[in-house]
Amino acid sequence: MFGFGRKKKQATDWVDLKTQPVPEGHHLLEVNDLKMYFHTQDGVVKAVNGVSYTLDRGETLGVVGESGSGKSVTSLTIMGLIDMPPGKIEGGDVLYRGRSLVKMTEEEMEHIRGNDIAMIFQDPMTSLNPVYTIGRQLSEGMILHRGYSKQQALQRSIELLQMVGIPNAEQRVKDYPHEFSGGMRQRVMIAMALACDPDILIADEPTTALDVTIQAQIIELMQKMQEENGNAIIMITHDLGVVADIADKIMVMYAGQPVEFGTAEEIFYEPIHPYTWGLNRSIPDPVIDEKRPLTPIKGNPPSLVNAPAGCAFSPRCPYATDLCRTEQPPTYVTETGHYSRCHYAHDASFVSANAPETSRTKTMLDHAADAVAAAQEGGEA
């Protein structure tokens, strides 16, 4: 997997793609029917099976799904960080500014990674190299992509640390990762990802390993950075709540496939796929009563080796029919581009009868009303 060859780095004729305009008729990032399969001893794992979306500068895409739904593998495929073998791209394409990332050579991808597309990982505790200072790790990308001297890179590292809100940055830049808390390390990771001013920032569950109190700070920081730099964000999470406020578009993934895709409003207020309903019902409500019970989705995600014959969600879907269990659902697309892979998505009466009452704002209003009522009762008693 790793080569020994002592080749000269930095092809001089490379032109930074992010300085080029997006070609006519293209988006910043286009993922078309991407399929990434893993060939293992147990069989072929269809980790990503037909994912499509588009993304433009300044936009935020939320990718939501359970563990093993293929959301991380999708982004690692875009970054070219999947080892092949065992992985293999079985079809589809990823276009960045009109150029295919799938067809790029390893050396070309090295120019893209960290420079045009940067990534933040789930666990900040293990994502930094323990034996090098923060400053050195921050500098690395800038020295590589921008040709900075060590001194320039260190100076810029201090600025970056200040930007992401690390106090006393001049001193902290000389510290080692273990001298930072989890939240601070994730800030360092964000600073590192933004060091070369990338077009796209992929955040793979950036808040999962952090304290609840720190989660909001990190999300806010990413939003603030996006406002300043205008980069696009792909936010991968299993928590619908995380993407609720910041995502423009949301893709819900299940068993390697996108089952529903739409704007954040569509996914939250007018979801048309039973799996999205299930996710919505699984968000704990501050007030649990008969009207808003906490209803987890029963069962486990299917094996990606022996996927169910029909709809992948059918074994767990409370509305599944024989049609669902035998035939793959088609993609139903509305006029707004909101799509769902469900046999009954087009059936408005089915949707309205079964969709949960999840309008967040509405629930909030209800809560406010409940609170007022409770206060009044308390006052009367």
Partner 1 sequence: MLRYIARRIIQFIPVFLGVTLILFVMQNVVPGDPIKLIAGEKKLDPQTEINLRASYHLIETDENGAPIFDEEGNTIETPLWKRYISYITGLLHGDLGRSYQQNGKEVTKILSQKYPYTFKLAVVAIVLESIIGIAAGMVSAIKRYSAWDVGVTLVTSGLVAMPAFWFGMLQQLFWGILMKQWTGGGFYLPISGTGGPYAEFPSWVYYILPALTLAAVSTAYTARIMRSQLLEVLNQDYIRTARAKGLSRRAVIWRHALKNALIPVVTYIGMDFGGMLAGAILTETVFNWPGVGFETYRAISQRDWPIVMGSVTVIVIVVMVINLIVDISYAFLDPRIRFDGSNNE
Chain residues binding partner 1 by CB under 8 A are 1-7, 9, 79, 81, 106-107, 110-115, 118-119, 121, 123, 126-133, 140-141, 144-145, 176, 178-179, 189, 192
When the beta carbons of 176 and 350 are compared against partner 1, the nearer one is: 176
Shortest distance, position 43 Cβ to partner 1, whole Å: 20
Q: What is the CA radius of gyration of the chain?
A: 23
Cα separation, 20 vs 27, whole angstroms: 13
Of the two residues 83 and 228, which places its CB atom closer to partner 1 in the complex? 83
Beta bridge partners of 252: 64, 260
Task: State the Cα–Cα distance between residues 69 and 321, nearest whole angstrom.
Answer: 23
Is 197 or 248 the residue whose CB approaches partner 1 more closely? 197
Residue placing its CB nearer to partner 1 in the complex, 72 or 280? 72
For partner 1, give the closer residue by CB, 233 or 272.
233
Q: Do 12 and 271 contact (CB within 8 A), yes or no?
A: no
Query: What's the min distance (Å) between Cβ of 132 and partner 1?
Result: 8
Instruction: Identify which of 293, 296, 287 has the alpha carbon closest to the alpha carbon of residue 366.
Output: 287
**For strand 257-263 and strand 249-254, is the pairing parallel, antiparallel, or unpaired?**
antiparallel
Helix H or strand E segment including 202: strand 200-204
* Residue 189 C-beta: closest distance to partner 1, Å: 8
Taking the least distance from each CB to partner 1, the nearer of 175 and 239 is: 175
Q: How far is the CB of 138 from partner 1 (least distance, A)?
A: 10
The position carrying tokens 């569950």 is 205
Closest CA to 353 of 264, 266, 272: 272
User: Which residue intervals of 230-269 are DSSP H helices?
Assistant: 240-244, 264-269
Q: Between residues 179 and 265, which has the closer beta carbon with respect to partner 1?
A: 179
What end-to-end distance do the CA atoms of the chain give, in Å? 73
Q: How many whole angstroms separate alpha carbon 370 and alpha carbon 348?
A: 31
Q: What angle do CA 327, 333, 335 make, to 5 degrees?
A: 160
Residue 226 Cβ vs partner 1, minimum distance, rounded to whole Å: 19
Residue 302: CB minimum distance to partner 1, A: 27
Question: Residue 171 CB, nearest distance to partner 1 (Å)?
Answer: 13
